[in-house]
Structure 1
Amino acid sequence: APFAEQDVYRGTLQIRGVQEVDAGEYRCLASSPAGSSSGTVILEVGAGPLFSEAPADMTANVGENITLPCAARGFPLPTVTWRRENSRQIFTGTDSQSRTMQLENGHLLIQSVWLDDEGLYICEAKNQFGTIKTEARVSVTGLEPPLLAQGAPVITTGIGQSLSIPCMLLDGIPLPERHWSQNGKPVQRNSRTFLRSDGSLYIERTVPEDAGTYVCTAVNVAGTTNITVSLEVHVPPEINAGPYHYIANEGVAITLSCEASGVPKPTVVWSKVGCHAFRGAHSNPDGHLHILRPTADDAGIYICTATSPVGYASREIQLSVNTMPKIMGISGHNNTVKMAAEVGTEVILPCEVQGSPSPLVTWSRNGQPIPPVTAWFTVLPSGSLKITDVRLIDSKLYTCTAVNPAGNVSLSYNLHIQDVSGMCLSSAKPRIQVAPSLLKALIGQTVTLPCVVQGEPSPEVTWFHNGVPVGVRDTVALRIQHVSLTDQGTYQCVAKNNAGQDTLEIKLEVLGEIYLNDLFPVQAL
């Protein structure tokens, strides 16, 4: 061989520029006059790695499977390994937990390509005669941001009904995730509210609290988007709790309340029973009816009606108007009428009043109250004052006052009594106020026998027991303490002055035992 040289003395064979064809079995023969011997040498010719298949830069869509080829020849057969640019080694095998694996033929398989698979991949072939490298870049494309279908911006439903709020996904790579919020807070899923497989939000048996602004947000690595839907839960009108009866004073403004709730907000309309329209009143959107100057004509039954597209509710409200007392035949607030009468006649001072509620009528004489019923004065059902058997001393100022919650009015009479018989103008016969003719008392009680008397000049009062004077003269009430059986009998109160006299007779019975059914009222002090 032209590239082989032997050294017969040293027993060596030198091959220059050895090639693969030089590989084989070589036999060495040594001989001498004494004999010969041989030996065998096997020559293996190695080769450094060479790529038979090399990877190229590749672009893949998200979710695709790609294979990067890498095969090498050489002797001995080179070992092929893969690693990432960050020196992270990629292991060989079929590990189900990994999407990236090196196949037995040296190729690299990437399953379901994702964003983090993007980058530089390095393939290395190595044997004892050398190491070679090649690389390829993987780019990931095909991302699409989420796209949602736009539906109705407002959804309405009735209370107790069920509904779905749609969130339809039109596009998005990779598949976006969808999230719901209500009024800015994540929707709490429960037995009534849950997310369907198509992304819509299902609400069962809606309640007013379900109303609000719902936002469906779709998110993937390529972006985010959302849709907004307003949910209105319609609730039939309901009139809030409030008074059913109002009482107004005449001329004083009053407001009737009829506040209503519901969705949508109800419209409140007022009407009055038996009246097509009413004046001097106006209502506002809140359901209040303002009556500026109520009169008796404004009293009655009012009806407020709250109406919305989903129903109506109504309520009856009664208004009573307290009208100012009025004295018939008299105009103005305070009046004084002059009146004259003869001694001994009966005088009626008119004071017939009107008003609602019925006014309370009281009389006074020179500023002093007059009881409703006395011996000489009687307040008639009409309110007028009757004076029986008038005397000169009845010449006074009499005032009738009518009062109710709406106000008061008064009328005064300046009464002048004339004596046409020539009797002394300064005298008036005594008159004793009527009292019970029979009194009963238990032994030991204290008894007071009344004797209220009037006259001019002031009469002298004397008490008699069975015709015998008792007590202290001029005592208008006879007081008997610790009454006993000896105290029973007939008592007389005699009132005298220079114009005449009057007598009151009272019979007193003293009981030894308690007979409750027989007792008459006894003034006990």
Structure 2
Amino acid sequence: MRSSPSRTAPKSNMDSQNGPGVVLAGALLPAFPRDAKGTGSWPRPWAKVELTMQESVEVFLGDPAHIPCQHNFSDASSEPSFVMIQWFVGAAGSSSRMRIFYSDDSQRMVDNGTDYSGRIELQFDQQGTRLTVRDVRLSDEREFFCQVNGLAAGSAEGKTQLRVFAPPKAPVIEGVSAGISVTNELPSKVASCEARNGFPKPNITWYRNGMPLTSAPGRVNVLMLVSQSGGFYSAQSTLEYKVSKEDKDAFFSCEVSFFVPAAIRTVESSSINITVHYPTTMVELWKELPQGLVKEGDTVELRCQGDGNPPSPFIFSREQEPDVELEKSGDVLILSPVSRKDGGIYQCRPLDTADETIKGEVQLTVHYLDPAVVVPRDSEVMLKGEDLTATCNALSSLKTSTVWFKDGQQVGQGNTLHLKDAAYETTGEYVCEVTVPSLPALHASGSVHIIVQGGPQLVGVQQEVQQEEAAGRMVNLSCEALGHPLPSITWNIVGSQSWHEVVSKANDHTTRSVVSLKVTSDVSALCNASNDMGTEVKFFSIKAIPRVTSAAPFTPAEGSGVIIVVIILCLLLLAVLGSVLYFLHKKGKIPCGRSGKQEITKEKTKDDIVVEMKTNTKNEDAVLLKALNGDKKVPNEQVTGPNPHWS
């Protein structure tokens, strides 16, 4: 018979490979012989415990870890009544181990004083047990042992490696600030990349334009440095690279790869562009200012640029004078102001190369427009009726356009202006405007003053003016004459003693005079315009009309009310008269035929009512007729009243 074990939990002991065993019920049990895998069994070949554990469990830092331990006894008939389960953890950096949990049929307990005293819990079922480690730490990456002991029924032990993963921070790339010359014989440091605080160790890979870079002697060197702090690993990598001119547009980046549970992840850094130094191999020279065509007086800027890095200084010169160095400002040649003699081919050469074929060239053309020359010059005197031809020309490097103006109005187009049958209106200043359509900023002008000479010419088509004016009114008489020399105007007025000149004006070829007079009787006035070349006169005849005083005019608003009242009264009287006649006819007092009319006349002489109606009807009918016929008179009747226009 087996003695039942003590209910007191055994003490935890550090168990080496040949440890003394486990104390149960105050007795020292023999230690299990272990194989290379660390499992052990009782020396009873007929008793066997089958124990199953995972080789490893992977978990992120801070997450809980679940480690299962399943067991069963192969001989069901010898199923023990007492089973003891213990969990151990291997000590970091040594082969010793430490117990963290104990369980038997009567008790279950977590060992005190260990790193897992407050962080583990176990779950039991028919298949075995499962250890849960909460808030996993980096120090938890070690072996966990599960030991099952059925005493005489046999025992077994298994282990699981707990792996902890902590992704590192995103990689940080930093390129060198100085430029890297393509003339360096050995690879130069291009950039460094660092990935911090990962577990386990991260790895760094370099890329150029998305393609991985591998170490190549004399071309690519990759240096890796891994450090540890607080259990975390930080990886720092340096890329040494032999640059070429094509690398000026290349982008470099680094990528960190690290392990996570059941996978490998990668995080790529941002891309950087490095500064590559290389000599100039191509030069370009162009006109930067002004935009478009260049004219005399402009400020011209010629800019030179090469493909070298850093940019090389340049020497400016003209093809006509290659040995004369022109003064410049940086990579710009300023010419101000330019004239036509500044035209030609300009060149620029870089100083970082001795190859004279590496240069830039540009052709500079300076356009011009000379002052306009007008023939005849200044002024020209011509007789009235003559013809004249004027020309305007200006020398230009481009095609020109010429337009003639007089008093702001266009009078001709082209280099030649034809004036035919000159009149006084022809007199004036003629301006020719010469422009360059392709370069509007270029323009020139010239002018000629034309003077038309002749006798006086009065303005207006009438040589004699007749008019009627009321006596007593003031009248203005105007006389204007053209001519060269300037004509003078005199007045001869008959019929009015009260007159005087109120306006007397003269300009280059026009004289104007205005006199004011009072009409008291018929007036005759003579305007005499004369100069050295002739005389011209204009007559004014004014007939005086006596003033007539008229009565007050008729006001329609005053008579309209009277007419309406009269019309209404007439209509009422006619209605009454019709009723009386109809009544007399019914009584037989009005016979039909001509005799009837005579009787009616007699009746009217006897009947006062009829006579009164007849008298009233006559007056009212007269008013009605006047109202209906407008202003027509009634025969043998004169209308009187306050309004004299009623006639």
TM-score normalised to structure 2 length: 0.31
Considering fraction of residues, name the structure with more strand: 1
Which of structures 1 and 2 has the bigger CA Rg?
2
